[in-house]
A and B are shown apart, each in its own frame.
Chain A
Amino acid sequence: DVKVTQSSRYLVKRTGEKVFLECVQDMDHENMFWYRQDPGLGLRLIYFSYDVKMKEKGDIPEGYSVSREKKERFSLILESASTNQTSMYLCASTTRDFPPNEQFFGPGTRLTVL
């Protein structure tokens, strides 16, 4: 079975801190994604990566950056955390092949910024 793991289930940080969220997948997937989930808004794409060292902005990239140095690992970075970044963060991965090549999700990280 595909497994996507995230470094923390719960995280509490202070405003202005630099925050790293790590995601690792074990199925050699080319594509990896970071979403944030907020009530009523569904999941919104922050960044995604289709290959090592390659990345594209999603719908809400402001305040975030990403890093993909190895195929299995995709990191989300909050350079200076703010309270409006309090949210659930979900990582996902998928292959490049069609179809259905559904996205496989990690368990999520609930981040609170105080």
Chain B
Amino acid sequence: AQKITQTQPGMFVQEKEAVTLDCTYDTSDQSYGLFWYKQPSSGEMIFLIYQGSYDEQNATEGRYSLNFQKARKSANLVISASQLGDSAMYFCAMRERTKAAGNKLTFGGGTRVLVKP
């Protein structure tokens, strides 16, 4: 069984500052993928960034970067230069490859970020 842990239920960040959202995972699989999603108050889930377990470099997408430490089983999301629009729930998720070749995701409990002006 896989498990994703996000230990920060909520946090404040000052506008224009960077923020790190923690995510640790537990898996015995060698091949897996890690995702971060953003959920604004409107409710839709927005895909932010992906890291494959065999990727040697940390993933980056604009202001988002993923600090992947495989030995520690952590995949922290770093948001640089926070903006008011970054206020949202953020979910870390891991993909398991099921025997049916599906793309099942296991999600963490989420971290609510509130950006202060």
Chain A interface (Cβ < 8 Å from any Cβ of B): 31, 33, 35, 40-45, 48, 50, 54, 56, 58-59, 88, 90, 92, 94-96, 98-105, 107-108
Contact = CB atoms under 8 A, between A and B. Distances in A.
A96 B43 contact: no
Interface of B: 4, 6, 9, 33, 35, 37, 43-45, 47, 50, 52, 91, 93, 98, 100-110
A104 B91 CA distance: 14
Given A42-B109, A48-B104, A56-B100, A102 B35 contact: yes
A41 B109 contact: yes
A102 B102 contact: no
A101 B104 CA distance: 11
19 contacts: A33-B104, A33-B105, A35-B107, A40-B9, A40-B109, A42-B108, A42-B109, A43-B91, A44-B107, A45-B105, A45-B106, A56-B98, A59-B106, A96-B102, A100-B52, A101-B103, A107-B44, A108-B43, A108-B44
Contacts of B44: 105, 107-108
A54 B9 contact: no
Given A43-B105, A56-B98, 18 more contacts: A31-B102, A41-B109, A42-B91, A43-B91, A45-B106, A48-B102, A50-B100, A58-B104, A96-B103, A98-B33, A100-B33, A100-B35, A100-B50, A102-B35, A102-B47, A103-B45, A105-B44, A107-B44
Contacts of A43: 91, 93, 105, 107
Given A42-B109, A105-B44, A54 B50 contact: no
Contacts of A50: 98, 100-102
